[in-house]
Amino acid sequence: MRFENETVLITGAGAGIGRETALRIADEGGFVVVTDVDEDGGDGTVEAIEDAGGEAVFQELDVTDADAFEAVVATATEEYGLDGLVNNAGVIQSPADTEDVSESTFEHVIDVNVRGVWNGCRAALPRFKSQGGGSIVNVGSLASFLGLPKQSAYSLSKGAVMNFTRSVAAEAGSEGVRANAVCPGFVETSMGEAYFESMPDPEKAKERAKRQYPLGRLARPGEVADAIAFLLSEEASFITGHGLVVDGGYSVS
């Protein structure tokens, strides 16, 4: 039971990778603070955890709101303690040349994907430092390392997440805090489906994407959750500042 007597806060936990991570943490003994802007999705995750015999609570949270994030972290710390933070909430960008990306799209991608991670770390770090330990896992992307065409705003945001993770690791390591990132390729989630649905021929686009992976398929959410749980746990006690790529071999093909 890797997370017995530990509390982990997960953003964007109402579906996809976030939900699978919450289920994994709870299955291994952890108490999960499930957060999301989607109340129904968050409640659904809590229900799934409780049905499986685990413990969780839902807090509605817009990660772009620094004050709200601070309040959720403060409440979690006071009521349950806080040992881990997973900054998972994120949004995609519809494919477009850089010059065609609207200002509103750019601002939304940066607000959620960058400001959301910043807000989470900024709220949690003082607690982790004061207690002499804590583990942060930020969800990056292949775009943290590769400049993806027609994904300039998204690539910018996920590149920032990776380098910010390194900065936090270097800054807070001496106080017992670890910070890592998990960087998946395409994942079989509703967000991934939305990306393909933005294409003229979604099925053709999806099949083309699968062929780019040596393993011949897209990732399952649970496979990314496994990587997050590993980095969050004591099994990764001497790993910090690392970006764990979970991409079925895409980046080496």
Residue 114 counted as domain residue: yes
Question: Does the annotation count 213 as an active-site position?
Answer: no
Residue 247 counted as domain residue: no
Q: Which pLDDT value is given to residue 208?
A: 86
- From CA 168, how far away is CA 165, in angstroms rounded? 5
Residue 83 has pLDDT above 80, yes or no: yes
Share of the chain above pLDDT 90, in %: 83
Q: Which pLDDT value is given to residue 212?
A: 87
Residue 199 counted as domain residue: no
- Over residues 4-37, the pLDDT tens digits come to 999 999 999 999 999 999 999 999 999 999 999 9
Residue 116 counted as domain residue: yes
Question: What average pLDDT does the structure give for the chain?
Answer: 95
Residue 158 counted as domain residue: yes
| Rounded mean pLDDT, 179-190 | 92
Q: Which pLDDT value is given to residue 181?
A: 98
Identify the band that residue 253 occupies on the pLDDT scale cut at 50, 70 and 90.
confident
Q: Which pLDDT value is given to residue 191?
A: 80
- Over residues 104-134, the pLDDT tens digits come to 999 999 999 999 999 999 999 999 999 999 9
Residue 74 counted as domain residue: yes
Residue 195 has pLDDT above 80, yes or no: no
Residue 215 counted as domain residue: no
Which among 80, 154, 213, 250 is annotated as catalytic? Answer: 154
CATH of the domain at 165: 3.40.50.720
- From CA 71, how far away is CA 57, in angstroms rounded? 15
What tokens appear for 64 in the block? Answer: 């772009």
- From CA 33, how far away is CA 30, in angstroms rounded? 10
- From CA 85, how far away is CA 126, in angstroms rounded? 13
Q: Which pLDDT value is given to residue 206?
A: 83
| Rounded mean pLDDT, 31-44 | 98
| Rounded mean pLDDT, 55-67 | 98
| Rounded mean pLDDT, 129-146 | 96
Identify the band that residue 167 occupies on the pLDDT scale cut at 50, 70 and 90.
very high
User: Residue-wise over 92-117: b if at least 16 C-beta within 10 A, else e?
Assistant: bbbbeeeeebeeebbeebbbbbbbbb
- Over residues 201-242, the pLDDT tens digits come to 878 878 887 888 899 898 899 999 999 999 999 999 999 999
Q: Which pLDDT value is given to residue 198?
A: 78
Structural contact between residues 116 and 11, judged by C-beta atoms closer than 8 angstroms: yes
Q: Which pLDDT value is given to residue 203?
A: 85
Give the chain's domain count.
1
- From CA 229, how far away is CA 158, in angstroms rounded? 20
What is the domain extent for residue 19?
A: 7-185+220-237
What are the helix (H) ranges across the chain?
16-27, 39-51, 66-80, 103-110, 116-131, 152-172, 190-197, 202-211, 221-232
Residue 198 counted as domain residue: no
